[in-house]
């Protein structure tokens, strides 16, 4: 029987993989990788506020990331600066303010490294509630809005013409990403959250011909990466986040090579 | 005739500039209206306002209750990162049965690309797929935003010919923005010439004689149009409600609706 903390970590990692895979498809399709990174950076401010004021860190992160997303939507709407510039400003400002705020805490109370790269030892039961509760919200909303979101991704005006509220749908995607960021911190860490969104989805892209299958395969591949990564992390005493992402990257490389060989085989014939 | 979609006294001001000024346009049953005008004339903005994508600064847009609109955008950039077959794209968010899909696919000549990924299709094929999608709900009104903008001349001819046939065979009204006035001359029943305001409006051959049209597009364009009209006028000096062919003297014959782009 493995230790309880390992089971907790596995349960948490599996939950994160199952949510991040399908949502990650939209991140890949809609080129939101930089947005995901920025959102994750701003999460540090949420952690700092959580620790300073004694509120739940997940809650603190959701609040800060949601404000971040809404602020971004508002600034985008004003169309003064390009989105990547806005993201750069907001993300680094939030990251820096978070670090400044954390420096007011005494060092004993937190381990920055574990927030940046994840640490399975820090997973608590309350985190599992967050992951599975938040996960059900994310998956439920994704399934309910799947066709609308996919159509909007293919052509925004077409979706609008057919009655999709694209403003709300965009905000919905951002809010779903804030949930994923908030619940992933313990497992993969702030710096690597985006990779859990995009690497399994990008790997899945090479295997499928429908958007639905891409989402399903992204979840499966994410799951495999989590299982491989956490086993490796326990075996070799490596940080969990980088171990999981390494496993995901190895799978991506593997399928890319297989895909390239297969395409070449077709052209030779 | 019932009004399907109408803009009344629509104005749009943005960043201190007037994009549209007091534009009124009424689309009724069986209308075939083409909006023309130079770049920056506000054609797309007018369409956006009429589709409800954009709220006009002044004026109102009214839509018949429960009006079914089929919208064909200017172009679809099918992204390689999204794996989706044409068939799935057509039925995304739609409740179309097999028979309806087969019928529309036949009408737009896309049967042989239904099981191909969207991102491998040519420009002409994509436009036909978009048209097919718009037709799936049996719309009362087709709204097209420069639907042949990114096609070559043969592709444009083929697309307008297809649109012409759909107009003849279906009980549908058409509102279209187009640069290719010479290509749509034969089918369109009303031309609205737009340059921030409605410069002139009427049947094609009337509009090209309008001094406003001449000042907007120049003498050469007006003369060119007059030539097209001349033939057109003599060939079809009657209402266009019958599903007869609209062959032009200047148009090469394209027996297949898809033309050389099919397949």
Going from the N-terminus, what domains does chain B have, and what CATH number goes with each?
Answer: 3-261 (3.40.50.300)
Our CA angle for A76, A39, A249, nearest 5°, is: 120
Q: Name residues 163-222 of chain A within 8 A of B (Cβ).
A: 164, 205, 208-211, 213-214
Copy the structure tokens of residue A86.
């806005």
Most A CBs within 10 Å: which of B45, B51, B66, B84, as the mutation test of the A interface? B84
- Residue A206 contacts residue A259 (beta carbons within 8 Å): yes
Specify the DSSP class assigned to residue B24: E
Are B83 and A209 a contacting pair at CB < 8 A?
Answer: yes
User: pLDDT tens for residues B83-95?
Assistant: 999 999 999 988 8
Query: What is the per-residue pLDDT across A26-38, written as a single tens digit (0 to 9) for each?
Result: 999 999 999 999 9
Could you give the CA distance from residue B159 to residue B126 in angstroms, rounded to a whole number? 11
Query: Across residues A200-217, what is the average pLDDT?
Result: 95
Using 50, 70 and 90 to split pLDDT, how confident is the model at A120?
Answer: confident
3-state secondary structure of A160: helix
Residues facing residue B13 across a β-bridge: B18
d(CA A27, CA A35): 9
Ranges of each domain in chain A: 4-264
* CB contact burial B136-166 (16+ within 10 A = b; e otherwise): bbebbbbbbbbbbebbeeebbbbbbbbbbbb
Residue predicted with more confidence, B245 or A52: A52
Does B53 lie at the interface with A, CB-CB under 8 angstroms?
Answer: yes
Please tell me which residue of chain B has the smallest CA distance to A157: B73
pLDDT for A44 beyond 50: yes
What is the rounded CA–CA span in Å between residue B7 and residue B60? 6
pLDDT of residue B225: 66
Nearest Cα residue to A166 out of B210, B179, B60, B48? B48
Residue B217 has pLDDT above 80, yes or no: no
Q: Does residue B234 have a pLDDT over 80?
A: no
Residues of A in contact with B133 (CB under 8 A): 158
Q: B-chain residues within 8 Å CB-CB of A28?
A: 81
Average pLDDT over residues A9-17: 93
* CA-to-CA separations, A67 to A62, A171, A178, A181, B166, in angstroms, rounded: 8, 11, 10, 14, 49
The complex scores an ipTM of: 0.86
Interface of B with A in 58-117 (CB under 8 A): 69, 71, 73, 76, 78-79, 81-85, 88-89, 92-93, 117
Third-level CATH fold of A4-264 = ABC transporter involved in vitamin B12 uptake, BtuC (1.10.3470)
């Amino acid at each position: 029987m493995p230790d309880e903390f390992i089971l907790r970590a596995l349960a948490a990692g599996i939950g994160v993989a199952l949510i991040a895979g399908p949502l990650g498809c939209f991140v890949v399709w809609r080129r939101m990788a930089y947005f995901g990174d920025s959102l994750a950076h701003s999460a540090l401010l949420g952690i700092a506020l959580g620790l300073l004021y004694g509120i739940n860190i997940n809650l603190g992160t959701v609040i800060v990331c949601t404000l971040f997303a809404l602020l971004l939507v508002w600034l985008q709407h004003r169309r003064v600066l390009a989105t990547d510039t806005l993201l750069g400003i907001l993300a680094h400002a939030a990251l820096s303010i978070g670090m400044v705020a954390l420096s007011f805490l005494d060092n004993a109370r937190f381990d920055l490294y574990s927030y940046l790269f994840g640490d399975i030892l820090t997973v608590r039961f309350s985190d599992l509630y967050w992951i599975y509760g938040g996960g059900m919200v994310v998956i439920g909303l994704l399934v309910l809005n799947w066709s609308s979101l996919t159509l909007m991704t293919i052509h925004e005006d077409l979706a609008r013409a057919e009655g999709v509220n694209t403003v709300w749908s965009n905000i919905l995607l951002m809010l779903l990403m804030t949930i994923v960021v908030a619940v992933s911190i313990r497992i993969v860490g702030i710096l690597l959250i985006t990779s859990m969104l995009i690497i399994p989805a990008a790997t899945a892209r090479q295997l499928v011909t429908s958007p639905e299958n891409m989402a399903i395969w992204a979840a499966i591949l994410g799951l495999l990466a989590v299982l491989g990564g956490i086993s490796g992390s326990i075996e070799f005493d490596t940080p969990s986040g980088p171990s999981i992402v390494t496993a995901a990257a190895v799978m991506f490389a593997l399928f890319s090579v297989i895909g390239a060989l297969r395409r070449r085989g077709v052209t030779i014939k | 005739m019932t009004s399907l979609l109408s803009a009344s006294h629509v104005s749009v001001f943005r960043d201190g500039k007037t994009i549209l000024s007091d534009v009124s346009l009424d689309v009724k049953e069986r209308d075939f209206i083409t909006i023309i005008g130079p770049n920056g004339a506000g054609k797309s903005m007018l369409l956006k306002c009429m589709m409800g994508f954009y709220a006009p600064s002044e004026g109102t847009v009214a839509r018949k209750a429960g009006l079914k609109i089929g919208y064909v955008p200017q172009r679809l950039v099918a992204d390689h990162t999204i794996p989706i077959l044409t068939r799935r794209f057509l039925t995304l968010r739609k409740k179309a049965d097999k028979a309806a899909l087969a019928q529309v696919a036949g009408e737009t000549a896309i049967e042989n690309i239904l099981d191909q990924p969207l991102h491998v299709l040519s420009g002409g094929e994509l436009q036909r797929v978009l048209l097919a999608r718009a037709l799936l709900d049996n719309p009362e009104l087709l709204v097209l935003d420069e639907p042949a903008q990114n096609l070559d001349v043969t592709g444009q001819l083929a697309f307008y010919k297809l649109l012409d046939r759909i107009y003849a065979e279906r009980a549908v009204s058409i509102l279209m923005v187009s640069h290719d006035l010479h290509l749509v001359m034969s089918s369109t029943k009303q031309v609205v010439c737009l340059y921030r305001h409605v410069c002139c409006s009427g049947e094609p051959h009337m509009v090209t004689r309008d001094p406003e049209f001449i000042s907007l597009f120049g003498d050469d364009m007006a003369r060119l149009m007059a030539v097209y009209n001349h033939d057109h006028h003599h060939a079809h000096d009657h209402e266009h409600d019958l599903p007869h062919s609209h062959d032009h003297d200047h148009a090469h014959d394209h027996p297949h609706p898809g033309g050389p782009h099919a397949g």
